[in-house]
Structure 1
Amino acid sequence: MQHFHAGNLHQIKDAPPGAWATVHASDAVTISELARRGFHLVDMSGEVWTMHRAG
């Protein structure tokens, strides 16, 4: 599982199908980019959210 943020947005496109990601709940830009690249929210509890890319 990789944690994504503004500093590594360029790595999102290289995430393989079935990849898991975490992102800070207040980071709307990164959440948006993850969603644009096929990730969907799995867990929104707490400050760090979990997303999964369909595979």
Structure 2
Amino acid sequence: MKKIIAVAIVSTILVILSLYAVNAVIISQQKDKQREIARRFCTIPKDYPKASRWPLKR
């Protein structure tokens, strides 16, 4: 009986740790994606030709 309880506790701890690791990977990927989007928005005005920008200045 003690062996079953010990296995259940260890299994639960391993599941919790694996969920924590997966969550950390997902958060890291989201941060990378946010940085990429922010970098893209910062460079968009430089990429547009002047002909497409002048109507916006009126």
TM range (shorter): under 0.3
Q: TM-score, normalised to structure 2's length? A: 0.22
Which has the larger Rg?
A: 2
Which has a greater percent of strand? 1
For CA contacts below 8 A with separation 6 or more, give which structure has more relative contact order.
1
Which has a greater percent of helix? 2
Q: TM-score, normalised to structure 1's length? A: 0.23
